[in-house]
Structure 1
Amino acid sequence: MANDAALFFGQFMRSPGTTGAVAPSSQRLARVVASPVPERGDPVIVELGPGTGVFTKEIQRRLGGRGHHLAIEINPRLAAGLADRHPGAKIIVGDAVNLPQLLAHHGLERADVVVSGLPWAAFPAGLQDRLLGAIRETLTPQGTLTTFAYVHARTLPPAMRFRRRLMEAFEEVVPSRTIWGNVPPAFVYHARRPRH
C-alpha cells in the first residue's frame, strides 16, 4: 500500500538503525520468509520487527486462526497500525532482546518458528549476539528462525559476521534463491535446530 510505504520511509528517516529499510518487503519475500509456519496444528509463532505487517499478513494467512502469533515491534507508531489491521496477532511494543520474558509474560514457554524482519546488518556485533541468544533460548529444539538479507549487502562485514554467527547458532542454515521481485532484491535464511 502507498500509505504503508510512506509511513515506513518516514520511520526509516527518523530512525534508520531500528527501521533498517526504506520500503516494506514484497509479498514474494513474505511468502518465502513465512514458509516455515506450519499450516496444521497449534504452533507458537513469534515475529520480530513486523514493520507495516507484510510478513504478519502472510503468517496470519498460513495460521488460518490457529495457534499463537506474537509480533514484537519496537516502534510504537508501526505497532499501532499493525494492531488495527491484524487482530489475530498479539502486537507487543517491546525489544526483541527481551524475547524470553515477553513470551513468558503471555503464558508461552517456547516458539516453534521465529520470523524476523530485523535489520541484522545494521546491528553491531554485541546486539546481533544478544538477539540470537534470545531467539535460541526461545525456540523449541526443532525450531526454525527465518530471516532475510539484501543481496547487495551480502559481502559487507556486518552481513558476513551475521551469517557466521547464524551458522554457529544453528545446526542447519539454508539460504533461499534470490527474490528479484523485492526492492532491493533479497534472499532468505532458514536456520533450523538451535544449538544450546
Structure 2
Amino acid sequence: MDRSFQPSDHLLFLRHWFSRPFQTAAIAPSSRWLARAMTAGIEPGQRILELGPGTGSFTQALLKRGVDEADLLLVERNPAFAALLVERFPRARIVLGDAASLPIDDALADAAVSGLPLLSMPAPQVMRILRAAFGRLRPGASFWQFTYGPRCPVPRTVLDRLGLVAHHTRFVPFNLPPASVYRMARLS
C-alpha cells in the first residue's frame, strides 16, 4: 500500500513551520527525489533508525527499497507528526521523543536516516544526537543526513570529536529548497 503524501501533508508542514521554524525547519515535506537520494544506500532486510521522519517521505522510500516496516524505529519529536506516522506505519516502532535520548534495546540498526534540521542546532546538541545515533548503529553502519546549506551540516569539530567522517553523496535540485545528501560513518 502506497502511503504517499496527501495534499494536507504540505499544509501540516507549513503550519508547524510557522509555529516552530527552528524545530520543523522545512516548509514542505521532502520530495520523492530527496527521499530516493537519502535511501539509496539502504538494502532490503536492514533494520533502520529514522530520526525526524516528519510525515514519512523517507519512511515510504525505505519501504519501496524493500525494508520491512517492522524493521523501522522512527523517532519523532512533534506529536502531530508522530500521530500521523502511527496511522500510516502501524507495524513500525514509533517513539515520540528527542533524538538525543534514544530508547535502549538489544537490536542495533544497520543504518540511520535523518530528517533533523542539524544545521539549525547548536553543536553540543548535534553531538548528543550523533553520539546517541551511533550508539544504536552496528559497526560499519552509515548515518544519512541532508542539508539545505552549502556544506556538511555537522561542524568539523563535532565530526573529529566523535571520530566520524562525512562524504557528500548527492545534490538534489528538485526539492524545495534544493538539498545535498551526506553519508557519515565512523573512521576505520
CA contact (8 A) 2:170 2:182 kept: no
Q: Of residues 125, 129, 154 in structure 1, which corresponds to 2:150?
A: 154
Separation in structure 1 between the aligned mates of residue 187 and residue 136 of structure 2, nearest angstrom: 12
Q: In the alignment, does 2:170 pair up with 1:177?
A: yes
Q: Which amino acid aligns with 2:39?
A: A
**For residue 96 of structure 1, what is the aligned residue in structure 2?**
99
What is the TM-score when the length of structure 1 is the normalising length? 0.84
Could you say what the CA RMSD is over the residues aligned between the two structures, in angstroms?
A: 2.1
Q: Which has the higher helix share?
A: 1
Report the 3-state secondary structure (helix = DSSP H, G, I; strand = E; otherwise coil) of the residue aligned with 1:46. strand
Report the 3-state secondary structure (helix = DSSP H, G, I; strand = E; otherwise coil) of the residue aligned with 1:51. coil
Aligned runs of 1:1-196 on 2, under 5 Å?
1-39=6-44, 41=45, 43-65=46-68, 68-99=71-102, 102-104=103-105, 108-150=106-148, 153-154=149-150, 162-165=154-157, 167-168=159-160, 169=162, 171-192=164-185, 194-195=186-187
Separation in structure 1 between the aligned mates of residue 136 and residue 81 of structure 2, nearest angstrom: 24
**For residue 3 of structure 2, what is the aligned residue in structure 1?**
none
Give CA deviations for 1:21-68 in whole Å, capped at 9, x if unaligned. 1111100000110122212x4x22010000011001011222353761
Report the 3-state secondary structure (helix = DSSP H, G, I; strand = E; otherwise coil) of the residue aligned with 2:173. coil
Separation in structure 2 between the aligned mates of residue 86 and residue 57 of structure 1, nearest angstrom: 9
Q: Which amino acid aligns with 2:25?
A: G
Unmatched tracts of structure 1, length 5 or more: none
Q: Do the aligned partners of residues 3 and 72 (structure 1) sit closer, same or farther apart at CA in structure 2, a change above 3 Å counting? A: same
Size of the alignment, in residue pairs?
Answer: 182
Q: Do the aligned partners of residues 143 and 68 (structure 1) sit closer, same or farther apart at CA in structure 2, a change above 3 Å counting? A: same
Separation in structure 2 between the aligned mates of residue 180 and residue 84 of structure 1, nearest angstrom: 31
CA contact (8 A) 1:115 1:146 kept: yes
